[in-house]
Structure 1
Amino acid sequence: MIHSDLLDQLDHFDPAIRQKAVSTLADLRAEGTWTPPAARPWMNLHCHTFHSFNANGWSPSRLVFEALQDGWEIFGSVDFDVLDAMPEVLEAGDQLGIRTVAGLESRVFIPEYKDHVINSPGEPGVAYFMLTGCTRWPDKGSTAEQILASIKQIAQDRNRDMIQRVNSFLVKVQLDYEKEVLPRTPSGNPTERHLVEGYDRKARSVFGDDLKGLISFWSEKFGMTESKVEELIHQLTPFQETLRSKLMKKGGPGYIEADPSRFPTLDAMIELGRATGALPTIAWLDGTSPGEADIQAMVEFMTEKGICALNIIPDRNWNIKDPDEKAIKLEKLKEVVETARKFDLPLVVGTEMNKAGQPFIDNFDASELQNFVEDFRNGARALWGHTLLERALNFGWLSETARKCFGPSRKDRCEFYHQVGKKYAPGMREAERVKGLEAAPKSILP
C-alpha cells in the first residue's frame, strides 16, 4: 500500500519533489516492499498530464505510477503544445520499470482541406495533430525550437483573447488569467478546459450560498431554462461541457474563428517531429466529418506529407448508447483500422483523460474491439520499440540509420519496431544493455 503522502508528492508542481517520490517508489520496488501487478497486454498512449489538462490533476510521474499499479504494458503521455512531460515520463518509466512513450498534440491548418471539416468540429481546415514517440528537445536556436515555442505562445494568446471576450459577456463573473488560470498548471500552459473550470469555480465563489442567483445567472447567459440549469449544475462534467459549448465553442461569445495565422502549418509540425525524434501522427475523430469521409484519400494525402502513424480514441467509437449511432461509428472504426493496415501505419490508441468520466484505459476485452485489439497492441509496441532505440542508439523510425536499413518502407519499419517492442523489457538495466548493441537490425533482433 502506497501512502497518500507519496502520491501527493508525485503530483507536486516542484519537479524535484516528484523526482524524489519516484526514486522512493523505485527503492520500494527494488527491496520488495511494493510489488505492482504483472503487466497485461493493455496500453494507453494518449494520456494528458497536468502540463496541459488532466481531469485528476495528475502529473507525468503520477500517471506512470498509476499505469504500473494498474498493470499496463505501455503508458504514453500527450500534452497540448508543450513537451514538458517528455523527460519525466521517459525517466520515470526507466526507474519504475514500465514501457513509456511521450507525445505532443496541437492543431494545424491544412490549406488543401480548407473547405472541409476534418477532426475539429465546425472548423474547416483545422486538424488535431500529434507527435508520438518524442525523445529529445529540439536543438537550441533551431527552427524546430522556434516552432515549439510558437505553438505554445499561439495557444496562450488565444486563451487571453477568449477570456477577454467571455469576461465582457459575463460582466459579473470576471476571470483573471495571470492570477487565477496560469497558476493552475506548472508549465504555464493552460488549455480551454482550464478556462472552463476557472469560470465554473469563479461563478460559484461570486454567488456563494446564493444557489438561486447562480442558477439565474447561468440561465440568462446560456439561454436555457432555470430548471435545466438547476439539473446540470449539480453534475460537474455535464455542466462544464455545457459552459464550454455555450461560451467558447462556435456561436458562443468567446469563440474565435479559425484563422490560419493562429495555427502552425502541417509542414512545420512535421519538421518539429523530426527534430524531437518523433513520428508525425494524424488524429482521427470518428469518420463522420466531410474531411474524414474518404479516409483512404485523407491518409494517402497525409502519408505523402510525411505522416507515420494514426491516432484513435476507441472508446468514443464503440461505447455508445444509441444503437444506430454505435453501428455507424463501429463501421467507421473498422474502415480506419483497415486503412491503417493498408498504409502500414502504427496505431496510437488511448482515452485522453482530460475530461472527468473518461476511462482510465480502453477495455481491450470489449467484444466490439476484438477485431482491432491486436492492431492497437502492435502499434503501441512499435512506438515503444522506436522510443527505446531512438534514445539508446539514435535508431528511431525516421533516423538516418532507419533510412539506410529500411528505405521508404513503412511495412518493414512496423515489423521491426514491433518486434523490438515485444522483445525488450523496460527499465534502466535493459536500456544500458541496448546501448551496447550495434545499430543494426541483425544485432538488435538476432
Structure 2
Amino acid sequence: MEQKESIFTSLPNEKELLSWYRNQPEESKIVPDINGHIHTPHSFSAFSDIELAFQMAKTEGISVLGVNDFFTTAGYEEFAQLAEKFKVFPLFNIEFIALQQDLQQAGIRVNDPNNPGRTYFSGKGLRYPVQMSSESEAAIKKLQQNSNQQAYQMVEKLNAFFVENQIELHFDAAELHKKLAKELFRERHIAQAIRTTIFEKKNTQDGRKRLFEKIFSGKELKVPIGKMAMVENEIRSNLLKAGGPAFVKENPDEFLSLEQVMDIITDAGGIPCYPVLLDDAKGNFTDFEADKEKLLQTFREKDIWAIELIPGRNNFEILKDFVSFFHKNDFIVTFGTEHNTPQLDPLKVTCRGGVDLDDELKQINYEGAAIIAAHQYYIARGMMGWLNGEKARVTEKERFIELGKAVINRFLKN
C-alpha cells in the first residue's frame, strides 16, 4: 500500500512536546468537545461529503473527530487533509461486524438487539498512513465484496417484486452503487433510492402515500412523509428486512470471528474496542451487556481494553454509572454520534433526549481520546502504542493521557 506522510511525525519529539504543553497557561487547557465516532460516505453517512463533517465540527466547536467507517480505511487520507485544514484533531478508526458462533448458538444477543451472536466491533487509532499485511487487506476487501453482493441481490429481488405487483419501478444495482455510494453499497442506499424515486415519480403527498401503500403490500406509511430518515427506515422494515420481499439472508460463513477481527485491527496498528449498546428506550439491555461485572471479566479474558458508546441512545444516569465503572477499571472510554442514518443531527454528543454530558463524562471522553491520540503519535513513529502485545499498558495510563493532550493541543495550534 502506498505510503503517505504522517500528520503526526511533523509534531515535535515527546520530550519537547511535553515541555511545550506543561508551559501552556492553565486556562488554555480546557476540556474540548469530542466526537470519536462518525461514519462518512465511504460506508453510509448523513454527511454528503467528509468536508461537511469538518465544517460542522468547526461551527459547533468540536476539537477532536473520529472517522469510524465499516470495513474501510479509504476515507483516511481526505480525513487527514481536512483535519489539518480545519484544525480539528483526527482519530483514525474502523468498524466491523463479527459473528461469535458460540453466542449465536446459545441465543445470546451481544450488541445487535435482533441477531444473537452478531457483534459490532471497532478498532481505534489505526496506523496512518494505513499500513497492514496483505492478508488483512484481502480480508477487508472480501468483507466489502460480500456486503456489496448482498445489496446487489436485494435490488434483484426488489425488481422481481415490482414486476410481480405491477409497480412501475426498476433499479440498476451497479448504477445505484456508482451514484450513491463509494466502497460500500448498503441496504440504506437502496432505501434512499426508493424514497427519492417515489418523490420524483409522484409530486403530491397523496400520490406518494398511495405508491408507498402499494409497495408496502397495502400497508399505509406510518411515519410523517416529510421525515426523510423515518421514511427510509420504514422502507427498510417493509421491504429489505427479514419478512420483506427483498430480504437477503446474510451467510454466516462470510462473517469473521471476533478473534479474526481483532487480529486485523491490531495488525493495522489499532486498539480493539467494543461498541456498547447499553439501554434501549424501554430500559432493556442485551443478554451480553446486562451484567457489567461479568462483562468486565469477559473483556479482560478477551484482551479488550477499550469501549465506546453512542450516548444519544442512552439514559444519562445509566450511561454515567456504566461509564464510571469501566473508567475506574482503566478502560479507554470514548463517545460518538455515528451519523450513519440519513438524519443530519448536530455533532455535539448528548444523551437520549438531548441531555448534556456532565463534566466528569466529558473528562472521561477526553482522557480516552488522549490515549488514542498518544497511541497514534507513537505508532506513526514506529514505536509501541497503547498495547504491549495484546495487553494494555494501564500502568502508564496517566503518561499516555498527558502526552495525548499535548499531541491534540499542539496539532490544534500548529
- Give the TM-score, by structure 1 length: 0.75
Select which of 232, 240, 251 maps to 1:248. 240
Task: Answer yes or no: is the 8 Å Cα contact 2:60–2:347 preserved in 1.
Answer: no
Change (3 A) 1:40 1:291: closer
Decide which of 43, 60, 69 is 1:52's aligned counterpart.
43
Q: What do residues 250-288 of structure 1 show as CA deviations (whole Å, max 9, x unaligned)?
A: 332333445421322211111111121111111111241
3-state DSSP of counterpart to 1:282: strand
Matching residue of 1:162? 154
1:217 CA displacement:
2.7
**Kept in 1: contact 2:127–2:376 (CA 8 A):** yes
**Map of 1:148 onto structure 2:** 140
Q: Say which of 281, 293, 298 aligns to 1:296.
A: 293
* C-alpha distance 157-88 of structure 1, shift in aligned 2 (>3 A): same
Corresponding position: 1:175 with 2:171: yes
Quote how far apart the aligned CAs of 1:223 are: 5.3
SS in 2 for 1:79: coil
Paired residue total: 371
Q: 1-side partners of 2:269 and 2:41: how far apart?
A: 23
Q: Of the candidates 90, 96, 104, which is equivalent to residue 80 of structure 2?
A: 90
Residue 342 of structure 1: how far off its partner (Å)? 4.4
Aligned to 2:4: none
1:175 alignment partner, SS class: coil
TM-score by length of 2: 0.80
Structure 2 counterpart of 1:194, from 149, 170, 189 = 189
Q: Which runs of 5+ in 2 are unaligned?
A: 1-28, 280-284
State whether structure 2 residue 331 is matched by structure 1 residue 345.
Answer: yes
Corresponding residue for 1:362? Answer: 349
Structure number with greater CO (CA < 8 Å, separation at least 6) is 2
- Other-structure match for 1:416: 399
Provide Cα deviations, 1:284-313, integer angstroms capped at 9, x if missing partner: 112411222123323432342232311100
Q: How does 1:1-400 map to 2 (within 5 A)?
A: 41-59=32-50, 61-114=51-104, 115-136=107-128, 137-139=130-132, 142-171=134-163, 172=167, 173-185=169-181, 187-205=182-200, 207-209=201-203, 211-222=205-216, 226=220, 228=221, 232-287=224-279, 288-318=285-315, 330-355=316-341, 356-363=343-350, 366=355, 369-398=358-387
Paired residues of 2:60 and 2:348 also in contact (CA < 8 A): no
- Contact kept in structure 1, 2:42 and 2:74, CA below 8 Å: yes
Deviation, structure 1 residue 362: 1.0
User: Compared with structure 1, are the counterparts of its residues 203 and 157 closer, same or farther at alpha carbon in structure 2 (3 Å cutoff)?
Assistant: same
Deviation of 1:211 (Å)? 4.7
Distance change (3 Å), C-alpha of 1:389 and 1:98:
farther
CA separation in 1, counterparts of 2:239 and 2:115?
A: 16
| Aligned Cα root-mean-square deviation (Å) | 2.9
Change (3 A) 1:39 1:243: farther
Contact between 2:33 and 2:62, CA under 8 Å: does it hold in 1? yes
Q: More displaced, 362-371 or 143-152? A: 362-371
Residues 413, 166 of structure 1: alpha-carbon distance in 2 compared, 3 angstrom cutoff: farther
Give how far 1:202 is off: 2.1
* CA 259–295 in structure 1, closer or farther in 2 if over 3 Å, else same: farther
- The offset of 1:190, in angstroms, is 2.1
Distance in 2 separating the partners of 1:244 and 1:392: 45
1 CA distance for matches of 2:334 and 2:392?
19
Report the Cα distance in structure 2 between the residues aligned to 1:298 and 1:254, rounded to whole angstroms.
36
Q: Pick closer, same or farther for the CA change 1:179–1:259 going to 2, 3 Å.
A: closer
CA distance in 1, matches of 2:246, 2:303: 34
After TM superposition, give the deviation of residue 119 of structure 1 in Å. 1.6
Q: 2:47 touches 2:344 (CA, 8 Å); kept in 1?
A: no
Change (3 A) 1:256 1:180: closer
Cα displacement string for residues 346-390 of structure 1 (whole angstroms, at most 9, x for unaligned residues) = 112111122215332214994564552221221112112211222
**C-alpha spacing 1:212/1:408, structure 2 compared with 1 (3 Å):** closer
Aligned to 1:26: none
Do the aligned partners of 2:47 and 2:53 also contact (CA within 8 Å) in 1?
A: no
Change (3 A) 1:223 1:378: farther
Distance in 2 between the 1:414 and 1:348 partners?
15
Query: Do the aligned residues in 1 keep the contact of 2:33 with 2:362 (CA within 8 Å)?
Result: no
